[in-house]
Chains A and B, each alone.
Chain A
Amino acid sequence: MAVHISLNDKNHDLPDGATVARLLAGFSPQPKGIAVVVNGGIVPKAAYETTKLTDGDQVEVLTFAGGG
């Protein structure tokens, strides 16, 4: 079974029961600074391990870019 989520508006599949931490572990190299928003709500870093992702979740992962 796979979980189908939207990651920054693109389809993304994860193993069943996957958490935010599992999603982020798939990025290489690991970015230093990111924030995660699931269905419009900010997920605190402390909750990455316990926040499970389910079918249809809208996930945004944000970082810093250059700006004035």
Chain B
Amino acid sequence: MAMDDTLILGGETLSSRLILGSGKFADTATMIAAVKASGTGLVTVALRRFNPDQPTDDLMGPLMAIPGLKLMPNTSGARDAKEAVKAAYIARELCGSRFIKVEIHPNPHHLLPDPIETYEACRILAADDFIVMPYMPADPVLAKRLEEVGVASVMPLGAAIGTGHGMATREMIEIIIRDSHVPVIVDAGLRAPSEAAAAIEMGCAAVLVNSAVAASDHPVGMAEAFKEAVAAGWKAWCSGLMPTSETAVATSPLTSFLGS
């Protein structure tokens, strides 16, 4: 029984199965404190135009000051594969990280990923040495197609971004886990640490959360709670859950007590 917590993605070793987003925090100091409390080794960031009038907005300095932390830029804002690929190259020039979270959601009302443009962007980027991590619909067929073009993981949504509706796509994610040869990471929708534990218990390699931590009352405490939940889920997965039964199965002896 291996309890090794390390997760290998595209040849990079991560010491935690929790990936944290850096958006929506009240301020940079809170975000940095939450990142540290979460124990994560991989944090997502977004590209934005530099504002010379507010140069202190820069997140890379404080994030890179955390020992061992790796950055995973996303392509948020890209409306199609061409824009996502451009964003990926800009991000790689910016920080040197091979990780790229491909995120193409052209409709701001539901933020659901465009499967066709996502596939095309992943195909191009995987062929050029990126560690490609696609945010994707919970579609087992698409997951398999993305695996075939060389993504490092598939990241199906549990529910729409920022909704906190949990694992609404659980049945589809179970199929993806069963059929995948790359790590499956639930990205988006999780609200409670127990949902993260449940995702890992069912075989997800990791979870990616942002709003669940950033929009909680106490982000640092919630980051710790997710850290512990993911660790518990992984121990449970490694330990093997007991079989289920349609009928009751006694845990105490039912005979030879009152001399009957």
Residue of A nearest to B60 (CB): A33
How many angstroms from the CA of A49 to the CA of B57 in the assembled complex?
25
The count of A-to-B residue pairs whose CB atoms sit within 8 angstroms is: 109
Determine if A65 and B94 form an interchain contact, defined as CB atoms under 8 angstroms apart.
Answer: no
Determine if A65 and B90 form an interchain contact, defined as CB atoms under 8 angstroms apart.
Answer: no
Interface size on B, residues (CB 8 A): 39
How many angstroms from the CA of A37 to the CA of B86 in the assembled complex?
10
How many angstroms from the CA of A31 to the CA of B53 in the assembled complex?
12
Shortest CB-to-CB span from A43 to chain B, Å, is 8
Determine if B90 and A64 form an interchain contact, defined as CB atoms under 8 angstroms apart.
Answer: no
Shortest CB-to-CB span from B50 to chain A, Å, is 4
Determine if A42 and B50 form an interchain contact, defined as CB atoms under 8 angstroms apart.
Answer: no
* Chain A residue contacts of B63, Cβ below 8 A: 64
Determine if B56 and A68 form an interchain contact, defined as CB atoms under 8 angstroms apart.
Answer: no
- Chain A CB within 8 A of B108 CB: no
- Chain A CB within 8 A of B211 CB: yes
- Chain B CB within 8 A of A11 CB: no
How many angstroms from the CA of A33 to the CA of B98 in the assembled complex?
16
How many angstroms from the CA of A38 to the CA of B66 in the assembled complex?
31
- Chain A CB within 8 A of B31 CB: yes
Partner of B94, one of A8, A29, A30, A34: A34
Q: A33-B94, A63-B60, A63-B94 are in contact. Are A68 and B161 (CB under 8 A)?
A: yes
How many angstroms from the CA of A5 to the CA of B25 in the assembled complex?
34
Partner of B48, one of A26, A45, A63: A63
Q: Which residues of B contact A (CB under 8 A)?
A: 21-25, 31, 44-52, 55-61, 63-64, 71, 73-74, 76, 89-91, 93-95, 161, 188, 208, 210-211
